[in-house]
Amino acid sequence: MNGLQRQTAIYLRGVSGRRPRVSTDATLLEEQAREHMPAEAFAYIAGGAGTGATIRANRAAFDRWRIVPRMLRDVSRRDTTVELFGRRLPSPFLLAPIGVLEMVNRQADLAVARAAAEEGIPMVFSNQASRPMEACAEALGDSPHWFQLYWSTSDELVESLVSRAERCGSEAIVVTLDTTILGWRTHDLDLAYLPFLRGKGIAQYTSDPVFRRLIAEEQPGGDPTPQPRPSLPALRTLVELTRAYPDRFLPALRSGLARAAVQRFVQIYSRPSLTWDDLPFLRERTKLPILLKGILHPDDAARAVDAGMDGVWVSNHGGRQMDGAIATLDALPEIASAIDGRVPIVMDSGIRGGADAFKALALGATAVCIGRPYVYGLATAGQEGVGEVIQNFRADFDLTMGLAGCTTVGEIRREALTEAQRSTVSG
C-alpha cells in the first residue's frame, strides 16, 4: 500500500464514522498509549536517562534540518525500496530491538512479529525479549529478522545465543555496545522498578540451554545464605517470576530456580569490560553480517569497519543511557563521511515520522528504525496497532518523498536539506 492508498483508506473509513485507533502522529501517540499502560510500563518505555536531555536533543536535531522540495518532477510513481545485506526491503524502516514488551501486551514480541510479517518489515529481536527468538522466528515465517545481542560475561552464553539466532534464520547480528552499564534512569529509579528483577524480559535466557545449565549447576545449595521470610510484595514478585518461564520449567521454579535465574541473569547479562579486542571472538563464530549498535563517533565507526564489521548502527538508545549525549542526527553526517559508503548505516533515536526518515537518509543513513512508536501502537491496539504504526510511517515517508520531488530513495541526498537557521535568516 502506498502513501496515497493509506491516506485514502483512512479518510474513507471516516465517512462511515471510524477514526484511526492509533494516532497517525507518532508524537501524540505517546500520550494516547499512556492511558493503556501501567505507570511502571510507561516510565520504563517513555523514560530516558537523567533529565531527559538526550531525548529532547534527538528531536531538536531533526527540527534543525528542513527539507527543500523540488517541483515539476513527475512523482506519480515512487519506489521506496532499499537494499540491505542482499535483501530488497519495501521501505527503509526496520523495527528496533525493544525489550520487555510483556509490560504492555500479553502477546508481546509475538504480536510484533505477526505485524512485521504482514508488513514485510524486518524485526530485530531484542536480547531482553519477552518471548524466545525461535517462537518469533516461526511467527515471522519468511519475513526477515535480525538478532540483537548483549554481550554476556559468559562466552559460552554469547556463542549459544548467536548460534540459536543462526539456526532460527536471523539474517544479521546486532551487538549493542551502549548498555554494558545501565544508565541512570530516573523514571524507573523513582518507582524503584526494574522489570528484569521481576523475571520480565529474560525469555532469551530462560529458553537458553547454556543459561539453564548454569543455573541448574548452582542448585541446590548454590547460595548458602538462608532466605528471609518473603514479604507480601516479594511473594507477588515470585509469582510474577514463575509466570515468566516456559511451562516445562515450572516445577524447577517452584524449587527456587526462579529466584536463582534472576540472580544469575543480573550477574551474567552484560560485560562492561568489553573492548575492540573482543570482536574477533564473535567474527570467528558467525558468518552472518554483524552490526555495532550505539556508535556515535566517526573514529569508532571507521574502527568498526576495520574490525571486519558489516554495518554501523548510529544510536543513543533513544536517550535512555546517557543524559546529555549527542543527538544521533548530529552524529550521523561525520559518521557517514568516515564510513564513505563501505558498509550500511542504520540509524535510530527520535524517528517519529516520514520526514525524519527522509532527513536521516539525506544525511547518510541507509535505513532507520522505528522504536518507541511501535510499542505505543502495541499498547494501544495490540498487533493491529503495531501494523498501523508501520503503515503510517511508510505512508508518510512515501508522501514526503513525492512532495520533496524524489521518486527513489537513491535521490534523497544532502542537497534536499537546508539548516533551519538559514531558512529563518533568509525569511
Ligand X SMILES: Cc1cc2nc3c(=O)[nH]c(=O)nc-3n(C[C@H](O)[C@H](O)[C@H](O)COP(=O)(O)O)c2cc1C
Chain positions contacting ligand X, by CB under 6 A: 44-45, 96-99, 126-128, 148, 176, 293, 315, 317-318, 320, 348-351, 371-372
Compute CA distances 391 → 93, 132, 242, 372, 418, whole Å. Answer: 11, 26, 36, 15, 28
Q: Are 199 and 244 in contact (CB under 8 A)?
A: yes
Tell me if residue 187 is catalytic: no
Sign of CA dihedral 83, 88, 94, 99: negative
For cell 510484533, what's the residue?
Answer: 112
Least Å distance, CB 83 to ligand X, is 22
287 burial type by CB count under 10 A (0-12 exposed, 13-18 middle, 19+ buried)? exposed
Least Å distance, CB 99 to ligand X, is 3
Dist. CA 252–CA 257, nearest whole Å: 6
Least Å distance, CB 252 to ligand X, is 25
- In the complex with ligand X, the residue whose CB is nearer, 115 or 238, is 115
What residues contact 9, with CB distance under 8 A and at least 6 apart?
1
Q: Are 105 and 384 in contact (CB under 8 A)?
A: no
Cell of 10: 483512512
- In the complex with ligand X, the residue whose CB is nearer, 103 or 253, is 103
Dist. CA 304–CA 290, nearest whole Å: 10
What residues contact 237, with CB distance under 8 A and at least 6 apart?
197, 198, 199
Strands 65-67 and 417-419: antiparallel
294 φ, ψ (degrees, to nearest 5) = 110, 10
Least Å distance, CB 356 to ligand X, is 9
Least Å distance, CB 278 to ligand X, is 17
What residues contact 94, with CB distance under 8 A and at least 6 apart?
121, 122, 123, 124, 146, 346, 367, 368, 369, 370
For cell 497517525, what's the residue?
Answer: 24
Find residue 94's DSSP bridge partners.
Answer: 369
- In the complex with ligand X, the residue whose CB is nearer, 323 or 348, is 348
Q: Which amino acid is at 82?
A: V
- In the complex with ligand X, the residue whose CB is nearer, 67 or 104, is 104
Q: Which of 328, 300, 333 is nearest to 314 (CA)?
A: 328
Least Å distance, CB 192 to ligand X, is 18
Given 145, 187, 297, 317, the catalytic residue: 317
Least Å distance, CB 73 to ligand X, is 31
- In the complex with ligand X, the residue whose CB is nearer, 91 or 126, is 126
Least Å distance, CB 419 to ligand X, is 22
- In the complex with ligand X, the residue whose CB is nearer, 200 or 317, is 317
Dist. CA 162–CA 11, nearest whole Å: 45
Cβ neighbours of 213 (radius 10 Å): 13
Q: Are 195 and 187 in contact (CB under 8 A)?
A: no
Largest CA distance in the chain: 77
- In the complex with ligand X, the residue whose CB is nearer, 111 or 253, is 111
- In the complex with ligand X, the residue whose CB is nearer, 294 or 402, is 294
Enter the DSSP assignment of 64. T
Catalytic residue numbers, as ranges: 317
